[in-house]
Amino acid sequence: MQENDINFTGKVVWITGASSGIGEALAVLLAEKKAKLILTARREAQLETLAARLDTNVIVLAADLYDADLSALTGYALTAFGNIDIVIHAAGVGQRSLAVETPLEVYRQLMEINFFVPVAITGYLLPVCKAHMVVIGSMSGLMGFPGRTGYAASKHALKGYFETLQVEQDVPVTIVSPGRVQTGLSLSAITASGKAHGVMDEAQLKGIPVSACATRILDGVAKRKKHVIIARKEKYLYWLHWWWPALYHKIAKKYSFTVGK
């Protein structure tokens, strides 16, 4: 650790989407570093099970973020330990449907969870504290990919909001853009019907181990990085997106959303 790196010991960290995936992995790592944790997700039982595993101070603040009173929820989080040092916006939902078949209601659901929830929580916190905002975006927030119209749009919007916040306010912000990670994102991703995809994509299974992803996220946060890209092959596609867009479009169009990402 460098001299000016953040020491997580004793820091109060609020994690949304903490019951699984990247959020859960970050909770485990932060507990090892003796941070004080506030864990939020819809599934209270899973949060309680996770909290029992962690050797640190943990408060479970269960909520369905889709229809929760986010102002009140943020107030509870602020009073849990008396302050908040870091907020990790890890709650999110994926998508597996083509634009031609996707109704507006599905897009609204994706935008609500992936964009409006972190924006609302951040808005309630800005006047009262300068917590370091850690935003779990996606490589889909940097470029388009088949079967992800709403998901990509929500992650593009998320990056746009928090990137602007970086230059507008005196608030530390780290935007994280992961590629394929070994999580259940494809299982819970919503389809055109609004129901869960329920299929573990093969590409997701071959993704970056979630613990490795979480380690790189915390390393970026500790160093106060503004943008952290965590990807394998998607990184090369991103470079093509910038430097050889014609080839990027040719390659991206060959993929079906059923292949997974």
pLDDT confidence band for 256 (50 / 70 / 90): low
Mean pLDDT along residues 110-115: 97
CB within 8 Å of 183: residues ≥ 6 apart:
20, 21, 22, 204, 207, 210
Task: Evaluate whether residue 152 is within a structural domain.
Answer: yes
CATH number at residue 111: 3.40.50.720
Task: Evaluate whether residue 110 is within a structural domain.
Answer: yes
Tell me the one-letter amino acid at 138.
Answer: S
Task: Evaluate whether residue 3 is within a structural domain.
Answer: no
Task: Evaluate whether residue 227 is within a structural domain.
Answer: yes
pLDDT given at position 200 = 81
pLDDT confidence band for 260 (50 / 70 / 90): very low
- Kindly name the residue from 76, 107, 124, 151 that is annotated as catalytic: 151
Mean pLDDT along residues 184-190: 87
Task: Evaluate whether residue 5 is within a structural domain.
Answer: no
Task: Evaluate whether residue 6 is within a structural domain.
Answer: no
Quick check: 259 pLDDT over 50? no
**Domain containing 201: what range?**
12-259
Question: Is 248 annotated in the active site?
Answer: no
pLDDT given at position 251 = 86
Task: Evaluate whether residue 7 is within a structural domain.
Answer: no
What token pair was written down for 71? 């102002």
Quick check: 257 pLDDT over 90? no
Phi, psi angles (nearest 5°) of residue 46: -65, -35
The pLDDT tens digits for 213-248 are 999 999 999 999 999 999 988 888 888 889 998 988
Task: Evaluate whether residue 1 is within a structural domain.
Answer: no
Share of the chain above pLDDT 90, in %: 77
pLDDT confidence band for 1 (50 / 70 / 90): low
pLDDT given at position 3 = 65
- In the DSSP assignment, the letter for residue 116 is I
Quick check: 165 pLDDT over 50? yes
Quick check: 258 pLDDT over 60? no
Distance CA 207, CA 197 (A): 18
Of residues 152, 142, 86, the one with CA closest to residue 115: 152
pLDDT given at position 261 = 33
Of residues 47, 73, 221, 219, the one with CA closest to residue 135: 221
Count of structural domains within the chain: 1
pTM: 0.94
Please name every residue paired with 58 in a beta bridge, in sequence order, or none if there are none: 37
User: Percent helix, strand and coil across the chain, each rounded to 5?
Assistant: 50, 15, 35
Q: Classify burial at 91, counting beta carbons within 10 Å of its beta carbon; exposed 0-12, middle 13-18, buried 19 or more.
A: buried
Mean pLDDT along residues 76-104: 96
